[in-house]
Copies of this chain bind each other. A is one copy, B any other.
């Protein structure tokens, strides 16, 4: 008889093997992308018509210049009349001027399409403020730092814990998810089952003389971008080719990448030495568990595996009912070859992941109606293939038309949209991009990335994937533990089932020690195979049969196995649940939030640009500041009393009793994104200032803390407060 575990195995396997090795189609891509945010910039094909015609015009003009130059030289050689030579030279100069003008236009066209100059200036301005105010710090800076490792300083750390608290409220609490907390140190067997040990790699090249390592695709990408942006003399055809290479970058095999690197003569960027062929480098940090050195382990590259291995317990905890979701927030680690892009590509980062387990035959969602009417930028694969842009689509329409595979996936896309925009992400710079067919793992039903536009381009910040039953099956097979769900039928159903009964006595006599392997191989046959074998046995009495765990054929006789179909009463359906996985790169979301919240405004005197982070209260690292207007014991005492009330109310705040001008103190806290400031300017009442409007109201000392609490926690809007309390205007507040 077939066992339950055999059933699970056979439902995914395609041979006689109980534990077959899964063949993941692509290496770094397949794993990096659907398992979690792959944190890879997506290249969006763009129309390059003006660039093309300018490149052609430039090439034409260049040959005109060359022809005219030849003309001048032959006139001189033929000792033509001076007037004739002068005229030819004049014509040559005119052509050169025309060429220079086209060059200038092309340059302008390239830099406006690219926008890199403005983007980099903006990024630099944001980074300067973030670093100066310790939102983040290069880790271990006094020792020179380590690439790809950053600390959150006090305001950054507060923003992060606010984002995580809101994530818990918005997802875990709202959906009654089962939150778990698993270790970072993970034994090898778990990551072998998930495929990471074999496939979680990037392609690397080494400087053949110094041994310095580079990501092969980065070098090729830099080469292409550089050529396209700085070399005005490449032909339109060459430009097209380079753009095609950029678009295909993620699909290249090691051999293809190596061939392109050779073809373009790319060398080590630092030394100009030749480079090795590309080869895969595993991105997991390796370690060893226990003192013997015999248990290899890794730092987890994602938190999801901790949930999958606990499926059985969590399903039980949920009363053996589907659907349910488990969630985990924690550190993940990727030993990037050469981290770039600041906070966006780091070696250690916080992931927040949800695994929503659902019956594959019913992916509807009871709360879908709550998000159905949302409309936002979606970028389905059809639009990407035809070179169009993302467009606003209503979520219910997207699901109804099959653009989004199912309601549950659609529900999470909607919830992610609400989460990001409530945090302060600008919805005009947020799009949901569907994975192209060649980007998705073979087992995935559908994948969408929430991409946020930043100075680095469109950045994947959340991946939302319907991963079907892949992960649970992988761990079922590796561990031998059935990770399945049960649906009890209201009444037993009569079904025809395949019954394979190996005759153990005969098999034992024939194969001795290999008995178990042969029995398992027989039992894991599917119906078609089994009846083919039966027919063969009846015809020939004896047939060759491949046993993969032995790696060879054995000879099976008719008396060794009985194969039949029998009617059976089934009381339940046993199946591997599908999983829908929204996976959040918290650091990336925070970085994009910094960029989207940042703006500058002129100081009152007009001689300075002041920095502001327009964080919503929910995100702001500090909700409120308390300032005595001038240094004065009475005002200080009141400020301290208000500070105490704020502490009791759980409102994070800062008291600043320095004698600095009130305008400067406001400017300092605007830079930290503090939404409200209480200024003590009398002993009976104080002012409360809102950061972005710079509007001020006057409130009784006793009310100050509770008003701030209400506006901070969203119980009251600023507009409401503004309509309720007397207004206050002062020169200093506007500074």
Interface residue total, chain A, C-beta cutoff 8 A: 78
**A434 vs B650: C-alpha distance when bound (angstroms):** 34
**A299 vs B299: C-alpha distance when bound (angstroms):** 10
CB of A721 closer than 8 Å to a CB of B: no
Q: What residues of B have a CB within 8 angstroms of the CB of A478 in the complex?
A: 143
Q: What residues of B have a CB within 8 angstroms of the CB of A711 in the complex?
A: none
Are B173 and A652 in contact, CB atoms less than 8 angstroms apart? yes
Are A309 and B143 in contact, CB atoms less than 8 angstroms apart? yes
CB of A591 closer than 8 Å to a CB of B: no
Partner among B183, B190, B348 whose Cβ is within 8 Å of the Cβ of A185: B348
**Given contacts A142-B309, A184-B184, A658-B319, A289 and B152 within 8 Å (CB-CB):** no
Name which residue of chain B comes closest to A175, CB basis.
B647
CB of A627 closer than 8 Å to a CB of B: no
Q: What residues of B have a CB within 8 angstroms of the CB of A176 in the complex?
A: 654
Pick from A142, A169, A287 the residue with the most CB of B within 10 Å: A142
**A251 vs B317: C-alpha distance when bound (angstroms):** 46
Distance from A622 Cβ to chain B, minimum over Cβ atoms (Å)? 10
Partner among B154, B168, B179 whose Cβ is within 8 Å of the Cβ of A317: B154
Q: What residues of B have a CB within 8 angstroms of the CB of A281 in the complex?
A: 291
Q: What residues of B have a CB within 8 angstroms of the CB of A174 in the complex?
A: 647
Q: What residues of B have a CB within 8 angstroms of the CB of A347 in the complex?
A: 183, 185, 289
Q: Give residues 645-683 of A contacting B (CB, 8 Å).
A: 647, 650, 652, 654, 658
Are A137 and B290 in contact, CB atoms less than 8 angstroms apart? no
Q: Give residues 422-480 of A contacting B (CB, 8 Å).
A: 475, 478-479
Partner among B183, B211, B333, B475 whose Cβ is within 8 Å of the Cβ of A149: B183
Partner among B140, B178, B187, B479 whose Cβ is within 8 Å of the Cβ of A190: B140
Are B481 and A142 in contact, CB atoms less than 8 angstroms apart? yes
Are B204 and A291 in contact, CB atoms less than 8 angstroms apart? yes
Are B647 and A310 in contact, CB atoms less than 8 angstroms apart? no
Q: Give residues 156-183 of A contacting B (CB, 8 Å).
A: 156-158, 160-161, 168-169, 173-174, 176, 178-183
- A267-295 interface code vs B (CB 8 A; 1 in, 0 out): 00000000000000100011111111001
CB of A227 closer than 8 Å to a CB of B: no
Are A185 and B142 in contact, CB atoms less than 8 angstroms apart? no
Distance from A302 Cβ to chain B, minimum over Cβ atoms (Å)? 15
Are B146 and A295 in contact, CB atoms less than 8 angstroms apart? yes
Name which residue of chain B comes closest to A289, CB basis.
B146
Are A335 and B289 in contact, CB atoms less than 8 angstroms apart? yes
**A317 vs B622: C-alpha distance when bound (angstroms):** 14
**A170 vs B151: C-alpha distance when bound (angstroms):** 23
Are A299 and B317 in contact, CB atoms less than 8 angstroms apart? no
Q: What residues of B have a CB within 8 angstroms of the CB of A333 in the complex?
A: 184-185
Name which residue of chain B comes closest to A311, CB basis.
B142
Q: What residues of B have a CB within 8 angstroms of the CB of A140 in the complex?
A: 186-187, 189-190, 309
Distance from A333 Cβ to chain B, minimum over Cβ atoms (Å)? 7
CB of A141 closer than 8 Å to a CB of B: yes
**A310 vs B152: C-alpha distance when bound (angstroms):** 11
9 nearest CB pairs, A to B: A152-B181, A213-B291, A142-B479, A142-B481, A154-B178, A183-B348, A151-B182, A157-B179, A157-B181
Cross-chain pairs A/B with CB under 8 angstroms, 8 sampled:
A134-B314, A139-B182, A141-B309, A151-B183, A152-B181, A154-B179, A204-B291, A286-B287
> Interface residues, chain A, CB within 8 Å of chain B?
134, 137, 139-143, 146-147, 149-154, 156-158, 160-161, 168-169, 173-174, 176, 178-187, 189-190, 204, 211-213, 281, 285-292, 295, 297, 299, 306, 309-310, 312-314, 317, 319, 331, 333, 335, 337-338, 347-348, 475, 478-479, 481, 483, 647, 650, 652, 654, 658
